[in-house]
Structure 1
Amino acid sequence: MDVGAYSGCFSLFVAKLGFEVDAFELVPRTTERLKINVRLNGLQSKIGVHGFGVSNTTGEVDIQMPRDENFLGTGNSIDVKENKPLKATTRGKVRRLDDWWVEAERPQIDPIKLDVERHERQAIEGADEMITTCRPTMIVEINKQQLPDFREWADDRRYRILNCQGMNRILEPLP
């Protein structure tokens, strides 16, 4: 599962290894680029593209864009980022992953890559049933300010947090 799929680098890599991937992307323009990349690589049967973001609620949200609307760049976020002037905003849809998972008939999910620009904690809250049931290993972008909250979450659910590179952390389920 690729949450915050952007243009699909992680999804394409995993699908080329033979695995099926569900890719979730909030920004409509970026979702279109993701669909093009999946099609150009002939991976439509391996990658399911979902044009919505993941949160702890369902509805529409404002997307904060620190770059021009026509620039296909990273950094777009539901949450306002301090010290990042906005160039534009747009609207996007969000859903709880638990709702999607139930509709998809509760498939086994493992691993999860989660990079949603400081909205990771809310995304995980909306996936609590799926995570509790599937116990996936997760690669999550967690900054220093988010880390204490994630440590508490991990302790409560019997996960350990391993440092990877930069803000990337591996959340590994404990037996």
Structure 2
Amino acid sequence: MLPRPLLDLADRFAPAGLMLRLRAWRSRSRGDNPELALLPRLSAGGGFIDVGANIGDYTRVAALHYPYVDAFEPIPELAAKLRRELPGHVTIHQLAAADVMGEAVLRIPYNSAGEVTGLASLNHIVGDAGMREVTVQTRPLDALGLRRPDAIKIDVEGFEEAVLRGAERLINTHRPAMIIEIEDRQHPGRTLDVFRQLWAAGFRAHELQGETLVERGPHSPHWAGVAQDQALVNRRADGSFINNFIFLHPEGNGRALRAW
């Protein structure tokens, strides 16, 4: 795997298209986001929306397969880096998606190695880590006139409900496939609220096991006990941890995935 400093150096000399493919390959090859493999299958002529783009793993892969991409990243330096590195059909919004238009405080935790931007949150930080606070702009996705998305990825460290409330019209109109990180530690005792929002809109939840989609929810046999202990949402039947869920609507995009 090419180290990041070498990629940054290559940015000065290699063609932009080659660098996009190299960075997308690096994102996939790390293996910590197996759901990236779903993105090409979900492309059906519409766009991709990345809410909580961070360093751009999903945005870079989506840029290779979708005619237009909207990426939301409120941390100024990360948004600036994505603008420099990504092609013109990718729009970087230096905003936090939410259910209201205004401002909010984004908390970015750090440890001895530096800032952990992937855990930045508009909620209170879990644990006792030090943090940097940044005031950011918030906007509902429904207020931005976004074009039809085939797929949406949401990774916002416990702020999922607000993002979904602010995108109800977009989601109900286009019924995109959605990849959403949901963890009980970020909203203990309320984890199922995110699922209920989407169940009410007709979506069904799945997890990716290897190359197989497995349904997660009241209709699945290993869901027993979740109502009593919502932390079990993040446990597979074999006890392994899961935090990325794929939501598909029976009348929406994602038919290619349901055929797996």
TM range (shorter): 0.7 to 0.9
Residues 98 and 140 in structure 2, CA contact (< 8 A), matched pair in contact too: yes
Query: Structure 1: where are the runs of 5+ without partners?
Result: none
The alpha carbon displacement at 1:30 in A equals 1.5
RMSD over aligned CA atoms reads 1.9
Specify the alignment match of 2:90 in structure 1: 47
Greater fraction of residues in helix: 2
Residue deviations 1:130-174 (CA, integer Å, cap 9, x gap) = 101010000000113453112211221100011237210001112
**2:110 paired with 1:67:** yes
Aligned-partner SS, 2:144: helix
Residues 160 and 194 in structure 2, CA contact (< 8 A), matched pair in contact too: no
Partner residue of 1:122 out of 162, 176, 179:
162
What is the alpha-carbon distance in structure 2 between the residues aligned to residue 18 and residue 82 of structure 1? Answer: 35
Aligned-partner SS, 2:58: helix
User: After the TM superposition, which segments of 4 or more aligned residues of structure 1 sit over 4 Å from their partners?
Assistant: none
**2:66 paired with 1:23:** no
Listed as ranges, the matches of 1:1-175 within 5 Å are 1-38=49-86, 43-44=87-88, 46-67=89-110, 71=115, 73-101=117-145, 104=146, 107-144=147-184, 145=188, 146-164=190-208, 166-175=242-251
Larger mean CA deviation between 128-137 and 21-30 belongs to 21-30
Q: Identity of paired residues, percent? A: 26
Q: Letter of the aligned partner of 1:169 in structure 2?
A: F
Q: Tell me: CA distance 1:18–1:55, structure 2 relative to 1, closer, same or farther (3 Å).
A: closer
Residues 67 and 86 in structure 1, CA contact (< 8 A), matched pair in contact too: yes
Q: Tell me: CA distance 1:121–1:18, structure 2 relative to 1, closer, same or farther (3 Å).
A: closer
What is the alpha-carbon distance in structure 2 between the residues aligned to residue 97 and residue 162 of structure 1? Answer: 24
Q: Letter of the aligned partner of 2:71 in structure 1?
A: A
Query: Structure 2: where are the runs of 5+ without partners?
Result: 1-48, 210-241, 252-260
Residue deviations 1:112-138 (CA, integer Å, cap 9, x gap) = 011111111110110001101010000
Q: Letter of the aligned partner of 2:108 in structure 1?
A: M
Q: Tell me: CA distance 1:172–1:128, structure 2 relative to 1, closer, same or farther (3 Å).
A: same
The alpha carbon displacement at 1:8 in A equals 1.5
Residues 22 and 47 in structure 1, CA contact (< 8 A), matched pair in contact too: yes
Aligned-partner SS, 2:117: coil
Residues 8 and 37 in structure 1, CA contact (< 8 A), matched pair in contact too: no
Residue deviations 1:2-38 (CA, integer Å, cap 9, x gap) = 1111122211111123532111111112111211221
Higher RCO structure, 1 or 2 (CA under 8 Å, sep 6+): 1
What is the alpha-carbon distance in structure 2 between the residues aligned to residue 6 and residue 49 of structure 1? Answer: 11
Residues 30 and 72 in structure 1, CA contact (< 8 A), matched pair in contact too: no
TM-score under structure 1 length normalisation: 0.86
